Chain A
Amino acid sequence: MTRGDQLPVPRSIAGVGIGLRTPHIPEILDTTPAIPWFELLADNWLVSGGLNLDYLQAVSERYPVTLHGVGLSLGGIDPLDLDYLAKIKRLKAQCGAAWYSEHLCFSHFRRHHYHDLCPLPFTDEAVQHFIERIRRVQDFLGEQILIENVSSYLSYRESVFGEGEFLARIAEGADCLLLIDLNNLYVNQINHGQDAREIIDCLPRQRIREIHLAGYQEKDGFLLDAHNHPVAEPVWALYDYALQRWGQVATLIEWDHDLPPWSVLMAEQREAAGYHASALCKHRQGTLEAEQS
């Protein structure tokens, strides 16, 4: 709870934010850098005391924040964990997060937790399954959530949709919003031969609220969505393309492993902000040309 038991009011999210990681917090609180917003990895902040609770309060008092979850298992076949969701709801109110996002994946089976984002096939059954569960989550929270596309190292032979159509059908059916991870799209492009630009073209613009940018790792024969490298050149190019199609969308720099000094993340943020700033005129120009033709 914040001082005086006043719950913070959600503030607007715009521009390029950074995924908040604990080792960077002392420097952030000391220097209060001009970052427009931070994303909190929700599962790391479901705490009832200690340093992390005070960090949560200090950061959310100074910056607009959003919540990003990895534990809900939206695609799982186990019942939705409403206790977990109640904690997310409390955390969201506690820090005044503008929105809550989750992944299109499953992460546990019965009592076995993988702590990973496991993909489902792009089938009608999976679409309906996601729609039903996302609707229940939104009813529970009383608001729309954002759903994120995941990277993968396998594809299912039974898939009948492309990833773009899969995402669009779920978003429309569940009436939810989209968080598009461009690094994941690029990783899947290399891993599965899908065309990331085609996917961008077929997503419903009006539902896209956030973009994620991160770094992959090149492995023997595939790309690993490792979140331990700078954003790669092809992903910057994809970002430029997406911004031209969608206009200015709130964007996040994600870096989870082998954390670099805070200054490295700031440099990544500045680079993204450059693309973001020029996106408005490019988008307007593109819209104008489309109208004229």
Chain B
Amino acid sequence: MTLRALQHDYYQAMQGNDGALKARVQGAGGLSAEQALVVYRNNTEQTLLSVLQQTFAVCRMLVGERCFNQLALQYCRTLPSSSLDLNDYGEMLPDFIDQRLAPGDPLQTVPYLGDMARLEWLLQRAYYAANRTGFDFSRFARLTGEQQPDVRFTLAPDVAVIAAQWPVVDIWVMHQTDVDALPPLTVEQALQYVVVERAAYRPQPSGIDRQMYDLVRAIDSGQSFADIVALEPCVVQTLKEAIQRGWVTGFHHD
């Protein structure tokens, strides 16, 4: 049996099809071959589950330990890890939750769960993002009038925005304290624009206005300064504020 065939069979076994490998292995101690393969399947699932529990801590509080673990294990079985870096795991959980928010599903009682997962994913990315560099004002001042319209700004590595259908910042803030002391949560649906950034090591979300949200989205999608101004002539003041806050840290032009 070549190593290639063995590792293919091992992969099949980790998907639950252990027929080919089972004949070639013996379980440890009192385990059957089948039980030994279950140990390995569990190891992987428990590792991924632990990552999801840490990344989506508020989601876990919102639905409770048991419900979250069921959801997370379904996610692990549907979308196994495809990256060597465990910090990459969980990116699709918000969409996975949204797909579950159908009539009759128990998660429907927590309709803001997908938005909260989206927020927590960005907080996790912000935690590990590269450090910011300062905006080079003097270099920017040296740009000619012809160069300025072509400028494309760059965001700080930790900065990202979302438009949530629910007031997720408020819910998130409430869950940073002792959740057992919280009164029952009553949430009214309300659109909330949110920026996530890392300040003093700690990622934080905060509410922003629509104009700032549009600006950050435009910068993130690589639009030029001319394109951004064409969308919203008053954007210059918003851009200044974004630079002052350290959300825009660089620029380049063709």
Contact = CB atoms under 8 A, between A and B. Distances in A.
A76 B11 CA distance: 12
Contacts of A51: 127, 201
A239 B14 CA distance: 34
Given A77-B7, A116-B47, A221 B29 contact: yes
A154 B43 contact: no
A138 interface: no
Interface in B39-89: 39-40, 43-44, 47-48, 80-86
A49 B27 contact: no
Contact of A121 (B6, B11, B14, B158): B6
B10 A153 contact: no
B30 interface: yes
B249 to A, nearest CB: 12
B140 interface: no
Interface stretch (B128-136, B215-223, B231-239): B128-136
B225 to A, nearest CB: 27
Contacts of B40: 114, 116, 118, 153-154
B129 A154 contact: no
A191 B37 CA distance: 14
Contacts of A116: 40, 43-44, 47
B84 A153 contact: no
A191 B44 contact: no
Contact of A50 (B37, B80, B129): B129
A111 interface: yes
Contacts of A106: 7
A112 B14 contact: yes
Interface string A94-138: 000000000000101111111110101100011001000000000
Nearest to B22: A154
B176 interface: no
Chain A interface size, as a band, is 35 or more
A154 B37 contact: yes
A173 to B, nearest CB: 16
B7 A153 contact: no
B157 A49 contact: yes
B242 to A, nearest CB: 19
Nearest to A107: B84
Tell me whether chain A's interface is mostly helix, strand or loop, or mixed. mixed
A153 to B, nearest CB: 4
A222 B28 contact: yes
Given A114-B44, A116-B40, A49 B86 contact: no
Tell me whether chain B's interface is mostly helix, strand or loop, or mixed. mixed
A222 B47 contact: no
A93 to B, nearest CB: 18
Contacts of A281: none
A49 B131 contact: yes
Contact of B28 (A81, A84, A112, A154): A154
Contacts of B43: 114, 116
B129 A48 contact: yes
A53 B37 CA distance: 37
A289 interface: no
A211 B6 CA distance: 30
Contacts of B36: 153-154
A191 B82 contact: no
A287 to B, nearest CB: 36
Given A50-B131, A112-B82, A224-B39, A153 B3 contact: no
Given A50-B127, A125-B3, A155 B28 contact: yes
B31 A46 contact: no
A157 interface: yes
B186 interface: no
Nearest to B84: A71
A59 to B, nearest CB: 16
B81 A115 contact: yes
A279 B24 CA distance: 42
A111 B7 contact: no
A53 B11 CA distance: 35
19 contacts: A47-B128, A48-B130, A75-B3, A77-B3, A108-B84, A111-B82, A113-B81, A114-B43, A115-B48, A116-B40, A116-B44, A129-B3, A154-B36, A154-B40, A156-B6, A192-B28, A221-B28, A222-B39, A223-B29
Interface of A: 43, 46-54, 71, 75-77, 81, 84, 106, 108-116, 118, 120-121, 125-126, 129, 152-158, 190-192, 220-224
